[in-house]
Structure 1
Amino acid sequence: MGSQLHGSSSRLKVERELRGWSQQYVAEQIGADRYYLSRWEHGKTLPSPYYREKLCALFGKNARELGFLSRSEQSPASASEEEAPSETMAVAPPRSDVAIIDPTIPPLPGPAHDLVGRQELLDHLKTRLRAGSPSTMMALSGLPGVGKTALATALAHDEEVRAFFQGGILWAAVGRQPDVPGILSRWGTLLGISSIEAAGLTTLSAWTQAIRTAIGTRHVLIIIDDAWALEDVVAFQIGGTGCAYLVTTRFPQLASHAAADDALVVPELSSADSMILLERLVPLVVSSEQAAAGEIAQLVGGLPLALLLTGNFLRVQTYNRQPRRVRQAIERLRTAEMRLHLREAQPLSQRSPSLVDVPAISLHTLIAVSDQQLDQEARAALYALSVFPPKPNTFSEEAALAVCGCSVDILDALSDAGLLESYAPDRYALHQTIADYASLQRGDPAPVALLIHYMTDYVHANEEDYPRLELESANVLTALRLADEHGQSADLVAAGNIFAAFLSVRGAYTEAISLLERVRRAASDLGDQQGLGTALSQLGEIEMSQGEYQRAYDHLQEGLTLTSSRHDPMLSSQLLRMLGCVESYQGAYHEAESHLRQALELARQTGNEELQSLVLRSSGAVANDLGKVAEGERLLREGLTLARRIGKPEQICPLLVNLNQVTMMRGRFAEADKLAREALDIAIQINYLPAQCLLYSHMGVAAMEQGQYEQARAALLQGLALARQLEHPEYLIGLLCNLGRLMWKQGDISMAETYLQEAQTKARTIEFPWLQAGVLYEWGELYLQQQRLQEARAALDESYRLSAPDSPEGAALARYVQSRVAAALNDPDLARRYGAESLALLQSMEEHYRTAEVQQWLAMLA
């Protein structure tokens, strides 16, 4: 056999030398390695039919003339004696026009597990891979369980992808300890490399060259799944210029290194897509327990694997359709340990290359694989970082280093491992499942104390820097909650009162009240009367804004009782100021004036300009409500001067709002507009939502009074959206009334009634006479427009009763419309009397913008 091979194959060498060609030249012409040409010429092996055809075309000779036929091919008789071809013959490779589909490509899951929320990413991958650029390399990175392999599998089965990659698709399941020679050998078999040739391929370099040669110029997609090292990615980059590559890895740094700008992060599913996936898995649960299903989707952070595991768990629990059992299952899923240890058996063909020896997969085992690759310092840092709330929250690098007590190199290592997500600039986040896993591993209490200490100092250092407080808001709230749970009461009181004031400016009233209740308990336990009094003052202010006047009054009186036994003019002034505001909202204006005078006197004693500015603002607002417009404006301007001097935007803004209201009442709309614009700029800058809401209301009224109806509507609707978001009853009722008035002015009676009905329903839930009077006044105007005179009279009589004697503006406007109703009812004497009363009230308020209108009405009646 050996002499026959040597004799025949030497003809190839003779023909080459006759033409003066080198082995290298011939190898390049047929797309083979020189190594193979040498073996063919020395008779060690015969070329495969694929290369045989190439050589015959190059030399212009047939296979017999080049000595490529085996004995069986040369002699039919001898072939009959041997039922099998000679062992020297190579297995025929697939034709170049037949696609090779790697049998190890994972099968597609069932319809219930179809990819959800990935179509856009899938389309992008298809477009980029089929772009036709030489050796396109793409990489997908993301959290364990986010669906990287599922995306790669979907691509491998996609008909358009298979049609483009006519040479086929090869799959390499890599994992932590890849069998590179085994994968290359399997690929070689698929590509038609004979066993004899394979026996001579003793190095990875030889295998690489052999497979590259076998692929040739064919378009082949090579998928490298679950890569853990760049060396493994490079080992499988063995195709020609017609090949494209897709790498999946849990390591973002590896993806970036391998694919540069074509490295993509696979995100978690959105809330909507998470619910779609859950509905496919457990439609009964989603339909009957939609809120709980949404909570579960949030608890697993939109991670597809976690949704599949929880969905399958719930499906098993719903087989007998017992609601009790479903609710029990949902309750169990609210614990992180339960979610992390849910397990599901997987067939070998679908297992991760990193978990081939693990028959059942869970979030815990999947994350633990990454955890085990960390050194001890990085692992401790990961566990410590779990004290921060998970995504979408982020935390600063400075805070992370303070809590972990580590170097930035450790944070980089966690980021490179795909366990810590990096946000620019200098911010990080933990996914919910990673945070759950890490918190269960954390045994050291030190990170909790370090977080509390860091965030307490942060709040004190940034007390007046609202954008910086906003940035760390979730982390501060977490630290204060932990301070309460771990008995660090002094930190809770010191930072809690400061942060509650910030939350109140943001309109986050529910969070502020919850925090202040904890501060109140902690201050009581410590005997900290200053901290307790401050908490009570803030509680009263927030409850007042929510229409809870009696609760606010009780808290403020409790605070004043505290201060009666100790000389604390600053705290006493704060409490008296808020008590006066609450009393004014309840219509007790004279008591309000008395308490505000005391508050201002105490504030001036302290010399604290910030406190004086606050009290002047409240005093000015109450004076304005009582019709003492000139006095109110004077007090407000004094307060504004102080606020500007100390540079407190959160105090400058509301003072500008109050002054805007005063100038509007006086009909100085150009000046009012200037004040409103300055105030709105500040409110937007510091995200002062309540102020923004009130300003939009004022700007809408000003535009409406000037006949600019579309501008008025836009402003009022913007304010209404904010009022609903803040759940601020006073602002909500005022905006609904203003919109009702705008609608009837534009002739849309039906919409006017809708707005006013909602305002009336809301006004009935709070004890605020002025607001109720305002709603009834708007109804009276609307009824008059509709000539429903008796209804108008009844509404306006009640509006006047609620306004007089402490709200002269409300009483004056009610009397004015009552006069018009009386005229419509043919009672001129009553019309003149009501008109005269209205005018007298308006004139007492000094320059009210509707005074001239009432004067004209009376002149017409005369």
Structure 2
Amino acid sequence: MDRSGNTRRNNRLRQARIARSWRQRDLAEQLGTTELTVKRWERGYQQPSTYFQVKLCTLFGKSAEELGLVEDTSAPIVEKNIQDMEQATSPAQSQMLWTVPYLRNSHFTGRDDLLEQLARHLSREKPGDATTPRRALLSQPQAIKGLGGIGKTQIAVEYAYRSREHGDHTHILWINAASEEVIITSFQTLAQLLPDFADKDEKNQHELIAAIKRWLERCQESWLLIFDNADDLALVQPYIPQQGQGSILLTTRATAVGWLANSVEVEQMGLMEGTQFLLHRAQRLQASEEEYNEATNVVIALDGFPLALDQAGAYIEETGCSFNDYLQLYEHHRITLLARRGKQAANYPHSVATTWSLSFQTIEQANPAAADLLRLCAFLAPDHIPEELLKEGAPHWPLILQEAVCDLFAFHQMLEELLKFSLIKRLVEEHMLSIHRLVQAVQRERMDPEEQQHWATRAISAVNTVFPPDPKNEEATWSRCQRYLEQVQGCDLLIQQYGLSFSEAADVLHRAGNYLCEHALYALAEPLYQRALCIWEQQLGPQHPQIGSGLTSLGHLYSRQGKYTKAEAFDLRALHIWEQQLGPHHPKVAHALNNLANTYKEQGKYAKAESCYLRALHIWEQALGSEHLQVSDALNGLANVYLELGKYAEAEPLYLRAIHIWEQQQRPEAMGVTYPLTGLGALYGEQGKYLEAEPLFQRVRHILEQQFGPQHPQVAYPLHNLAELYIELGDYAEAAAFNLRALDIWEQQLGPQHPMVSYALNNLAILCVKRGQYAEAEAHYLRALHIREQVLGSEHPQVANTLNGLANLYCEQGKYEQAESCYQRSLSILEQQALSSHPEAAKVMHDFARFQEVQRKTEEARIWYERAFTIREVLLGSHHPKTKETRTCLIALPKTTSPQ
């Protein structure tokens, strides 16, 4: 038997299959037949029927001649019988229409929620199901929308296969909707497949399509009609049946689909989902934990974009490289890798770069301003681009974009053009745009380095224009700062990437640093401050007055973090520059002096702090007037020093004057007024005026929570003050609640080694002692002592305070030797710091006297009680509770008798 002709022609079919890297089983699954049948076709034992010839041509996109499918009339009659027998053995398969032109993607991963949503909307009752009445009218079509390469077609393919497995639809039909020509071609092919279709030879295209739609509308079996790449929905709409037992699914890059279809938007893959997909695609399913983490890093770099992950997986599989190798290659050869498609890319042969290139070209021709907007968005932080930035930053754009953003109609036309291809998203309620990071990357790579630098400079200059000028002192601007913070951080990356150093770049970094510092985001603020200072030094020289601003900001930042040595160095340098460049009486000199005084006070250097505050106060009063807000800063700082020194009579009028200035110049609930309010409350607490102190602390708490929210470090200060107040009042439950909240805020926001944490630990230890929890109290005291010694130094007055608490605990436990050592060290520190007449010294003396009394050393106790009483009577007055306490103890001491 001579089968040479058949064999030669069917070798073409075999070659077409191998070119797609398909097995015979894969081809059989696509066609709805058996692997044995495919083997017969390729070996020339059997010719495909007309039904399968049409499906093969559609699947491979080739003619019957190109696939060797032209009928051979010389084939013996037995072959015809075999063909008839094969068809007869699978009547269900021959009745079911299946024209999906893609193999099932064996690497498909995730998207379960989206597929379930499609199933709920598209699945219809199965034939013969009497529980649900048949619907004559179609439900609204369902659209899968999103950026090119995001996985829309793959999701549609996977849904089609799952639908066939579950028997949701009898017929599943695929229409390529990329253009009207291919839509018509797909319908013509479909005409040859429909059973009992009398009009398959109709030559008039419109009549043929109308007849196919009628067939679908009258078909009593459930069907699913998929329009793939339906980017022009107006073009597709006339081809959609209006009724029948079917469902319509569209895949489209268009954003505005509501007039035609319900829609689900496909986003990039999540981290876990993307990692699983990449491992699957790269054939690394047995990955170690290290490989898994490296794969996750690749997913992050590619922002979870499915097509890019598929390309990466193909590259890793084909080259055998590691995930880490790919990541390094991507950093240096981004556009090359995004343009490279793997060898086994039959379902989606285009790369990321190729997928978008035609869209970019179309936009460039249709609306050049929209193309410029896309270029600009490539240099902005991608997730939240405020629309007003585009308008307010207009002076920095090219002329064509300037004109478009300033005209509302033209602005919407630009966005419409970009939304057609889902290249951007519009966040309507927030008045923002977003763009995928890979779209940004491809856009940038299409520019030469000089053009990239131009756009980066424009973006930075515009963000500098819109970012508030003084976010540190104006709470009203904070919401706007927050809105643009991502853009400033994006600018910071551009400055580093392109080595940019111009004044606007430094300005916007410094102002954002002020906002972040005010909100205790110190780790984010520090690098912005540092880069701003570096730019200014490069542009202006190390002694320019502007350098002082960068130095004082860093000094303030370090002081808030408890890094007082570093803060002092920056403050001193700023003071020197401003004194030399601006003169000793300039207001900026006062600013540097005030910052330096704050640092000295925190270090316990009260004499130096007092001197700097007094000088700053004098300069500001002379230059700005006695009622200026900055005058209140010096007044408050000076009052704090006097409070620490126990000079209560001198501190109180300074606090009251500072509060008056704030209330006269600003609203009474302004954040600045909280500083003197806190100081005045602390003063009243020291004087035993607890009922006067409490409302001040509560007012401060209310203001700060309103301004910053409940978890800001500033809020912890009034909480801590209230805790101390309630300890004095004996309300330990309330004190514990406030103290624990303050401790949690400081630990979380400032870190476990910040000096403020030690204050909360001290209070916690006191409360534990009150409850008899001595082991816990000792642990808290020791941790507080360690923090203060490490951060403040071993001779700081606050170290003396903790040592005294620890000594009291040891005394309570009868550990007298350890207690005496702590008392003696505490008194020595206070004496060295010239604080022997300070209220804190009086407290230590009182406690040490009680220690001596417990050991029956009456005369030693009397000496220390008398010293404590003298200090307290002078500083607190004879009616202060603490003065009375010491007097009572002194009176209660037994009188000594002269020796016989």
TM-score by length of 1: 0.76
CA contact (8 A) 2:363 2:370 kept: yes
2:439 equivalent in structure 1: 434
Q: Does 1:120 align with 2:113?
A: yes
Q: Does 1:454 align with 2:459?
A: no
Question: Which whole-Å CA distance do the structure 2 matches of 1:391 and 1:602 have between them?
Answer: 47
Which of 282, 305, 323 matches 2:307?
A: 305
* 1:271 CA displacement: 4.4
CA contact (8 A) 2:393 2:462 kept: no
Question: Which whole-Å CA distance do the structure 2 matches of 1:98 and 1:778 have between them?
Answer: 90
Aligned pairs (5 A) from 1:210-225: 210-214=212-216, 216-225=219-228
Aligned-residue CA RMSD (Å):
4.0
More divergent stretch after superposition (824-833 vs 227-236)? 824-833
Question: Which whole-Å CA distance do the structure 2 matches of 1:122 and 1:652 have between them?
Answer: 57
User: Any stretches of 5+ residues in structure 2 without a counterpart?
Assistant: 1-76, 82-87, 126-134, 406-410, 895-900
Which of 311, 324, 334 matches 1:337?
A: 334
Q: Does 1:418 align with 2:439?
A: no
CA contact (8 A) 1:141 1:249 kept: yes
Question: Which whole-Å CA distance do the structure 2 matches of 1:104 and 1:651 have between them?
Answer: 69
C-alpha distance after superposition, 1:807-846 (max 9, x if no partner): 6354344445444544555545545554554555555553
CA contact (8 A) 1:174 1:227 kept: yes
Question: Which whole-Å CA distance do the structure 1 matches of 2:874 and 2:296 have between them?
Answer: 58
More divergent stretch after superposition (588-597 vs 775-784)? 775-784
1:698 equivalent in structure 2: 721
C-alpha distance after superposition, 1:676-702 (max 9, x if no partner): 443344434443833123233334444
User: Which amino acid letter does the alignment assign opposite residue 385 of structure 1?
Assistant: C
3-state SS of the aligned residue for 1:192?
coil
Question: Which whole-Å CA distance do the structure 1 matches of 2:124 and 2:695 have between them?
Answer: 57
3-state SS of the aligned residue for 1:433?
helix
CA contact (8 A) 2:461 2:505 kept: no
Question: Which whole-Å CA distance do the structure 2 matches of 1:289 and 1:845 have between them?
Answer: 68
* 1:292 CA displacement: 6.3
Q: What's the % identity of the aligned pairs?
A: 19
CA contact (8 A) 1:93 1:192 kept: no
User: Which amino acid letter does the alignment assign opposite residue 441 of structure 2?
Assistant: D
Q: Does 1:615 align with 2:634?
A: yes
CA contact (8 A) 1:377 1:410 kept: yes
3-state SS of the aligned residue for 1:538?
helix
Aligned pairs (5 A) from 1:626-775: 626-647=645-666, 649-687=670-708, 689-703=712-726, 705-706=728-729, 711-727=734-750, 729-743=754-768, 745=770, 755-756=780-781, 758-768=783-793, 769-775=796-802
User: Which amino acid letter does the alignment assign opposite residue 122 of structure 1?
Assistant: L
2:825 equivalent in structure 1: 798
1:28 equivalent in structure 2: none
Q: Does 1:469 align with 2:477?
A: no
Question: Which whole-Å CA distance do the structure 2 matches of 1:181 and 1:306 have between them?
Answer: 32
CA contact (8 A) 2:150 2:268 kept: yes
User: Which amino acid letter does the alignment assign opposite residue 624 of structure 1?
Assistant: L
* 1:605 CA displacement: 1.1
CA contact (8 A) 1:384 1:442 kept: no
Which of 134, 141, 153 matches 1:149?
A: 153
3-state SS of the aligned residue for 2:876?
coil
Q: Does 1:137 align with 2:128?
A: no
Cα 1:288/1:752, change in 2 over 3 Å:
farther
Question: Which whole-Å CA distance do the structure 2 matches of 1:645 and 1:714 have between them?
Answer: 35
Question: Which whole-Å CA distance do the structure 2 matches of 1:394 and 1:258 have between them?
Answer: 30
Cα 1:95/1:305, change in 2 over 3 Å:
closer
User: Which amino acid letter does the alignment assign opposite residue 250 of structure 1?
Assistant: R
CA contact (8 A) 1:135 1:242 kept: no
C-alpha distance after superposition, 1:626-646 (max 9, x if no partner): 222343333233222223333
1:596 equivalent in structure 2: 613
Question: Which whole-Å CA distance do the structure 1 matches of 2:738 and 2:827 have between them?
Answer: 29
2:106 equivalent in structure 1: 109
C-alpha distance after superposition, 1:310-365 (max 9, x if no partner): 4555567776xxxxx765543333357258626342656521xxxxxxx4x43322
Which of 188, 198, 201 matches 2:200?
A: 198
Cα 1:753/1:561, change in 2 over 3 Å:
same
CA contact (8 A) 2:200 2:208 kept: no
Q: Does 1:572 align with 2:589?
A: yes
CA contact (8 A) 1:140 1:248 kept: yes
1:33 equivalent in structure 2: none
Cα 1:249/1:597, change in 2 over 3 Å:
same
2:643 equivalent in structure 1: 624
Cα 1:184/1:495, change in 2 over 3 Å:
closer
Cα 1:474/1:103, change in 2 over 3 Å:
closer
Q: Does 1:386 align with 2:378?
A: yes
CA contact (8 A) 1:310 1:342 kept: no
* 1:236 CA displacement: 4.9
2:547 equivalent in structure 1: 532
1:11 equivalent in structure 2: none
Which of 841, 844, 861 matches 1:811?
A: 841
Which of 557, 560, 581 matches 2:575?
A: 560
User: Any stretches of 5+ residues in structure 1 without a counterpart?
Assistant: 1-79, 85-90, 320-324, 352-358
CA contact (8 A) 1:162 1:168 kept: no
C-alpha distance after superposition, 1:739-776 (max 9, x if no partner): 44445545666665665555444434313524434444
TM-score by length of 2: 0.74
CA contact (8 A) 2:722 2:735 kept: yes
* 1:391 CA displacement: 2.3
1:256 equivalent in structure 2: 258
Cα 1:329/1:600, change in 2 over 3 Å:
same
CA contact (8 A) 1:286 1:293 kept: no
3-state SS of the aligned residue for 1:248?
strand
Cα 1:560/1:265, change in 2 over 3 Å:
same
* 1:95 CA displacement: 7.3
Cα 1:774/1:291, change in 2 over 3 Å:
farther
* 1:576 CA displacement: 1.0
Question: Which whole-Å CA distance do the structure 1 matches of 2:455 and 2:830 have between them?
Answer: 58
More divergent stretch after superposition (852-861 vs 664-673)? 852-861
Aligned pairs (5 A) from 1:491-502: 491-492=504-505, 494-502=507-515
* 1:594 CA displacement: 1.1
CA contact (8 A) 1:627 1:845 kept: yes
Q: Does 1:518 align with 2:521?
A: no
Give the paired residue count: 754
CA contact (8 A) 1:530 1:571 kept: no
Question: Which whole-Å CA distance do the structure 1 matches of 2:776 and 2:305 have between them?
Answer: 45
CA contact (8 A) 1:96 1:218 kept: no
CA contact (8 A) 2:383 2:433 kept: no
1:377 equivalent in structure 2: 369
Question: Which whole-Å CA distance do the structure 1 matches of 2:240 and 2:178 have between them?
Answer: 16
Aligned pairs (5 A) from 1:153-172: 153-158=157-162, 163=166, 165-172=168-175
Question: Which whole-Å CA distance do the structure 1 matches of 2:234 and 2:559 have between them?
Answer: 66
User: Which amino acid letter does the alignment assign opposite residue 543 of structure 1?
Assistant: Y
Question: Which whole-Å CA distance do the structure 2 matches of 1:606 and 1:699 have between them?
Answer: 38
Q: Does 1:505 align with 2:540?
A: no
User: Which amino acid letter does the alignment assign opposite residue 265 of structure 1?
Assistant: E
* 1:498 CA displacement: 3.9
CA contact (8 A) 1:136 1:243 kept: no
More divergent stretch after superposition (368-377 vs 392-401)? 392-401
* 1:383 CA displacement: 0.9
* 1:100 CA displacement: 4.4
Structure showing greater relative contact order (alpha-carbon pairs closer than 8 Å, 6 or more residues apart): 1
* 1:496 CA displacement: 4.8
